[in-house]
Amino acid sequence: MQDFDITQLRTFVAAIDAGSLTAAAPQVFLSQSAVSEQLRKLEERAGHPLLVRSKSGVVPTPAGERLLAHARRLLALSEAAWRDLHGVALAGTLRLGVTDYFRTAEMAALLARLGAQHPQVRLCVTVRKSDEVEAGHARGEFDLAITMRIVEGSMRRPAGDELRREPLRWAAAPGVRRARGEPLRLVALPDTCSVHRFVVGLLARRKVPYAVVHVASGVAGLHSALAAGLGIGCLNESALPASGAVALPAPHGLPALPQAVFRLLPPRAGEAAFVAQAREVVKAAFA
């Protein structure tokens, strides 16, 4: 019979999403050796190497990328069938507020995957700055909200479920550097953005002269300004554009940057059962 084992496919997807076999093991309730064995059998079944393994983790091969797309659809259908037969289909309208900095290049794919896995959920997604998302969540405008905060030293851990943590980077178009003796040409979002406020505060504390030469309305606009060579900006690592701008290589002479943490805001009092269910689904999809 020419087919794939659904359990092996689930392990395969978990390994790619987690970035390593070690990280995937607890997600599929297996030992690392069992994960390795399942992936070996899957590669044997596929007739192609599916993963490139290295000390830093795993990434899919071209054949792995092709199988990954099929695997996600098969797993979504399997889950939908189970929910349907058990009468627990997730259904309703989910208002989701997301910071503009969250996985910029991946957001559409993540939302599409969430919609495919839960077709009876109507997603209403609003992308705003973190402060605006937090304020909207407090007012009851969003059922679930994902925001970004900059973390430094012993700063108290923000409330909510941490989804990911990643470094901030100075970024510019290839070849753009701060001219010696001249103020840093800074491109940023408006001063209502927490990253803007952090960066100008950091530069002031370190006595780095700067001038804000371009203010973009959103991260996409910031990408365009950086690609055009207008100046240097600050972005979290996953928000760096696929082309047009890169992280400045060291030594760049600018202050070191801390990490940013993305979190799913904690539930408000009286959260509906549907939202509580959706919270677990979003945590799994977006983590």
Q: Mean pLDDT over residues 245-262, rounded?
A: 90
Q: Enumerate the CATH 1.10.10.10 domain ranges in the chain, comma separated.
A: 6-85
Residue found under tokens 């991946």: 106
User: Top-level CATH class of 166-257?
Assistant: alpha beta
Instruction: Report which of residues 236 and 157 the model is more confident about.
Output: 236
Give the mean pLDDT of the chain: 86
- What are the C-alpha distances in Å from 203 to residues 53, 101, 234, 252, 256? 40, 21, 12, 14, 10
d(CA 130, CA 146): 8
Token reading at 54: 């290295």
Lowest mean pLDDT among 43-52, 56-65, 113-122: 113-122
What does the pLDDT read at residue 279?
A: 83
Q: Return the residue matching tokens 């600018």.
A: 254
Sign of the C-alpha dihedral computed for residues 228, 232, 235 and 240 taken in this order: positive
pLDDT at 230: 95
pLDDT at 113 over 90: no
From-to residues of CATH 3.40.190.10 in the chain: 92-165+262-286, 166-257
pTM of the predicted model as reported, rounded to 2 decimal places: 0.66
Q: How far apart are CA 39 and CA 271, in angstroms?
A: 40
pLDDT(154) > 60: no
pLDDT digits (tens, 9 = 90+) for 155-205: 555 577 888 889 999 999 998 877 777 899 999 999 999 999 999 999 999
Q: Report how far residue 201's alpha carbon sits from residue 223's, in angstroms, rounded to the nearest whole number.
A: 22
Q: What is the DSSP letter of 232?
A: B
CA distance 194 to 16: 32
- CATH number for the segment(s) 92-165+262-286: 3.40.190.10
The domain defined by 6-85 folds into Arc Repressor Mutant, subunit A (1.10.10)
Mean pLDDT of 152-156: 61
Residue whose entry in the numeric block shows the structure tokens 């269910």: 277
Of 268 and 105, the structure prediction assigns the larger pLDDT to 268
Q: Read off the pLDDT of each residue in 83-105 and give the average, rounded to a whole number.
A: 79
Q: Which two tokens stand for residue 245?
A: 């701008």
